[in-house]
Amino acid sequence: RELASRIAHFARFPQTGVSLRQMVEFGQNPSQGTLLRGAQFLHDELPIRLAHRVVELDSLPENLNQMPSVLRVKRMYIDSFNELINFPKASERIREAVKEATVQGNGDQRHLPGNQHNPAYQESPRISSSHWIPSIQHRYHYDVKPTELPVEVSEYNRSFVQTLEKIKRRHDPVVTTLAQGVVEYKQRMKTQKIDNHVQHFLDRFYLSRIGIRMLIGQQIELNQSQQQKQRQQGDYVGVICTHTRVKEVVQEAIDNARFICGDYYMLMSVPVIELHCPQELEFMYVPSHLHHMVFELLKNSLRAVVELFGDEAEHYPTIKVVVAEGNEDITIKVSDEGGGIPRSAMEQVWTYMYTTAQTPMLDPEFDKSDFKAPLAGFGYGLPLSRLYARYFGGDLKLISMEGYGTDAYLHLSRLSDNEEPLA
Ligand code: W6P
């Protein structure tokens, strides 16, 4: 069909990675003209990324790619792909206006990296100079004088953001839908383990999803702060905070995890979590990602400790969080004395496995209001946290002493020049 060949066509283009630094440089006090360039970049880039995912879903083994849940997810990607390629390109008038208002500097316009070396991409008629996003050194040369822009520019931006919001919402249930697919797959295959091939597919798929949602979220946020005429709120550029205060975010994660834990196990006394962190340490990051990862690690440690010592214990061994500041990395170590993980089970920790205890949540008849989410162990927390870490050039590692406890090392790159990893 025509659709199939369009998807195949877009999937032949390489995906273009963006670094945290580029996102920040692009998003600092963007004018409507800059936002339009962002919209044009996403208008080109998102269909490529979505097409790659559709092709990957199709090339899953026969017994997987025909499962209802997998087909539902594929449908979402195809619908969003269609919406984007049917979204009109900015009109000649709009593009001319933005180009006119652009102060031409020394002509050294820069592209997002990656594609300029790819001959296929250069042949593509979709690429025009308006696709280019200036880097910070050239920002002021290329910035746009907002007063000179016709209203059509902001109208176009607003309409594109609406499309992005719709797409983002459509894809909200992707993780749970695919998780349901994994459950069905394991039932059908009568196995508890998931195939290495499937594991790698899911890692790539979810990593790609993190990237797509980051770019979409950034464009939505930048438009909203521009519309509300508020200067950038404090240190925020979209969802990125240029001065993320590590101690503050980690302490917040500690408080939340302890609260959830006490509530879940109905504890008299919740394990103490000690934090050692340089008071003033800050770096460029997405605070919500940082919170998510640390919160996830702490829930695992709390669960291990409470389950080892029982929910009636008066005292638990303290969980220790140490934050270290290096030149390349900020590393957050979470240490618990929760008995550790057998070496043979280490690999399982990173696989996407919904254990039987969690299946009720995936039953459509199941009453969510009755359900008590397990403290940790939906099976997705750790592998997804590792993907969040890797997305900006970090990593997550576990070292365990069976019979004693576990150390989790969360490495976060502070260089912020790492391009998005795009498999
Ligand atoms: C455990 C198992 C685990 C996973 C992740 C982080 C901490 C811990 N502790 O016992």
Residue in the block written with tokens 């004693």: 404
Interface confidence (ipTM) of the complex = 0.92
pTM (predicted TM-score): 0.87
Give me ligand 1 centre to Cα 80, in Å: 37
State the Cα–Cα distance between residues 405 and 401, nearest whole angstrom: 5
34 lines ligand 1 (CB under 6 A): no
Chain centroid to Cα 419, Å, comes to 13
Show pLDDT as tens, one digit a residue, over the chain (423 residues): 799 999 999 999 999 999 999 999 999 888 899 999 999 999 999 999 999 999 999 999 888 888 999 999 999 999 999 999 999 999 988 988 887 776 544 333 333 333 333 333 333 333 333 334 444 334 433 455 656 788 999 999 999 999 999 999 999 999 989 988 888 888 887 777 778 888 999 999 999 999 999 999 999 999 998 877 665 567 899 999 999 999 999 999 999 999 999 999 999 999 999 999 999 999 999 999 999 999 999 999 999 999 999 999 999 999 999 999 999 999 999 999 999 999 999 998 999 875 544 444 444 454 545 445 666 555 789 999 999 999 999 999 999 999 999 999 999 999 888 889 987
Dig out the tokens for 172 from the structure. Answer: 């909200």
198 lines ligand 1 (CB under 6 A): no
- Among 52, 300, 333, 420, the active-site one is 300
Catalytic status, residue 292: yes
Q: Which residue CA neighbors atom 9 of ligand 1 most closely?
A: 301
Give me ligand 1 centre to Cα 350, in Å: 11
Burial tier of 228 (Cβ tally within 10 Å: 0-12, 13-18, 19+): exposed
Catalytic status, residue 300: yes
Q: What is the DSSP letter of 396?
A: E
Pocket test for ligand 1, best of 293, 300, 399 (most atoms within 8 A of CB): 300
Q: Which residue CA neighbors atom 4 of ligand 1 most closely?
A: 300
Report the chain's C-alpha Rg in angstroms: 23
